A and B are shown apart, each in its own frame.
Chain A
Amino acid sequence: MTNIEKLNAAFVEALDLDPNESIRDSYSYGDPKWDSVAHMALVVSIEAQFDIMMETDDVIDLSSFGKGKEILAKYGINF
């Protein structure tokens, strides 16, 4: 799997999204299915997918799919 496929899979799994649709960068916290409770599941899913441990500030800053890519770059994961 490429990194983008992994990130997509993490979102699909945590937020119960349609696996056949690719997620747009603009998909954001507050949009359907992404609420504060689902947010923790999303963090767990991303951490498992990339085998990383995110810092608190990154968990807080993870506000959209696009932002997720930016944050992951800090952990050496590039898109």
Chain B
Amino acid sequence: MSVIDELFSSNPYSLSASRKNKLLVSELNELTSFHYSNCEPYNKILTNFGYKPKKRIKAIADFPFLPVRLFKTHKIQSIPDTEVLKVLTSSGTTSQVVSKIALNRETATYQVKALANIVTSFIGHKRYPMIIVDSDSILKNKSNLNARGAGLVGLSNFGRNHLYALDENMNLKKEELIAFAEKFGNEPVLIFGFTFMIWQYFLGECKKHGVNIKFPYGVLIHSGGWKKLIEISVSNKIFKSELSSYFWIDKIYNFYGMVEQVGSIYMECEHGYLHTPNYAEIIIRDYHDWSPLPHGKKGIIQTLSLLPRSYPGHSLLTEDIGHTVGTDNCRCGRKGTYFLVEGRIPKAEVRGCSDTHAESLTIFNQ
């Protein structure tokens, strides 16, 4: 059994810092060297930054990282086109340029298994009747799923009797929803959707039309960023309390994740912190010199994941701001680093990233 398969068969938050660190350093060395040998653009970037393939990297913070936006502008993959199973794209709601992530069978399988490993640790192994707060029209283009579609499909594995609660014009399917609640309202149900869609099209529309449905045994999982909700002053706390008081749902879990690293998601625990699973890590970096920051200090989030095998996305600098809170000592009992995301880098401050980006472009064009 490979290291990663072993990880998928244990609790995703089981490793304490020293063991996890040892395992990640070893696996990330292998991944870095694999992508270095199999992805030409990555090879050029690393060579330029002085990477020596035979020299082992000793600390997690020392692994080279790529800015996520590189995947928006360049085709970066470590497998021949013939091995591409599918290409994931970002939703492209906030920017017109989308990331393109090429997956082979191995990476796609790891993504599904990691997601299952994490989500079942929160909700158990049974599949519950499920409401998906979205429209199934988004699944029409199967070979080129965007992040939203991939998220819906990925999460739908955890449910049964799926109800897509919105039609293609984002109107609430009121009758279907009421029928669903009558049939399943007194048992555990799973509700999944993107944060803003749940707020606007599910809670908002139910309130507006007086759709009085309750899910006292419900579990709600949501993701997709807070940008739009922050604009209308809705915090995570307000989000939770409003949903809980309207639908009687107590278990509400947000998660942080990105299309460039599907699968290794960061779930929010009962105490409101996002948790790194065994096969992923978070490092917060200083805006000015990229140095790693201690717990509590705000900076740019770098995410490391053992899942990407078909593209060099195992160490990425995101465009999100956050801070780590601690390691191994969250009150919820989960091991690993836990953290909070505070938002996106404001456009004016993206300069650092753009510089890195421009630098990489030069390397590409050599």
B121-150 interface bits toward A, Cβ cutoff 8 Å, 1 = contact, 0 = none: 000011100000000000100110100001
- Central interface residue in B150, B156, B157, by most chain A CB within 10 Å: B157
B213-229 interface bits toward A, Cβ cutoff 8 Å, 1 = contact, 0 = none: 00000000000000000
Task: State whether B127 touches A36 (Cβ < 8 A).
Answer: no
How would you classify the secondary structure of chain B's contact residues: helix, strand, loop or mixed?
helix
Known: A35-B142, A56-B116, A57-B120. A30 touches B85 (CB 8 A): yes
B162 within 8 A of A: yes
Q: How large is the interface on A (under 10, 10 to 19, 20 to 34, 35 or more residues)?
A: 10 to 19
A38-73 interface bits toward B, Cβ cutoff 8 Å, 1 = contact, 0 = none: 111001100100000111110110010000000000
Nearest Cβ in chain B — how far from A26, in angstroms?
13
Please count how many residues in chain B sit with their CB below 8 Å of the partner chain's CB atoms. Answer: 25
Task: State whether B143 touches A56 (Cβ < 8 A).
Answer: no
Q: How far is the CA of A43 from the CA of B153 in the complex (A)?
A: 13
Chain A residue nearest in CB terms to B112: A60
Task: State whether A35 touches B143 (Cβ < 8 A).
Answer: yes
Q: How far is the CA of A38 from the CA of B105 in the complex (A)?
A: 16
B113 within 8 A of A: yes
Chain A residue nearest in CB terms to B85: A30
CB < 8 Å: which of A40, A57, A63 contacts B116? Answer: A57
Chain A residue nearest in CB terms to B126: A55
Residues of B within 8 A of A63 (CB): 109
Q: How far is the CA of A59 from the CA of B158 in the complex (A)?
A: 8
B77-100 interface bits toward A, Cβ cutoff 8 Å, 1 = contact, 0 = none: 000000001100000000000000
Task: State whether B156 touches A56 (Cβ < 8 A).
Answer: no
Task: State whether A59 touches B86 (Cβ < 8 A).
Answer: no
Residues of A within 8 A of B120 (CB): 56-57
Task: State whether A60 touches B113 (Cβ < 8 A).
Answer: yes
Residues of A within 8 A of B325 (CB): none
Task: State whether A36 touches B162 (Cβ < 8 A).
Answer: no
A37 within 8 A of B: yes
Chain B residue nearest in CB terms to A63: B109
Task: State whether A37 touches B139 (Cβ < 8 A).
Answer: yes
Known: A35-B86, A60-B113. A30 touches B108 (CB 8 A): yes
Q: What residues of chain A have their CB less than 8 Å away from a CB belonging to chain B? A: 29-30, 35-40, 43-44, 47, 53-57, 59-60, 63
Other than the given A40-B157, A63-B109, 4 more pairs (CB < 8 A) read A35-B86, A35-B142, A55-B127, A56-B157
A-B contact pairs, 19 of them (CB 8 A): A30-B105, A35-B142, A36-B108, A36-B150, A36-B153, A36-B154, A37-B153, A40-B153, A55-B125, A55-B126, A55-B127, A56-B125, A56-B127, A57-B120, A57-B125, A59-B127, A60-B112, A60-B116, A63-B109
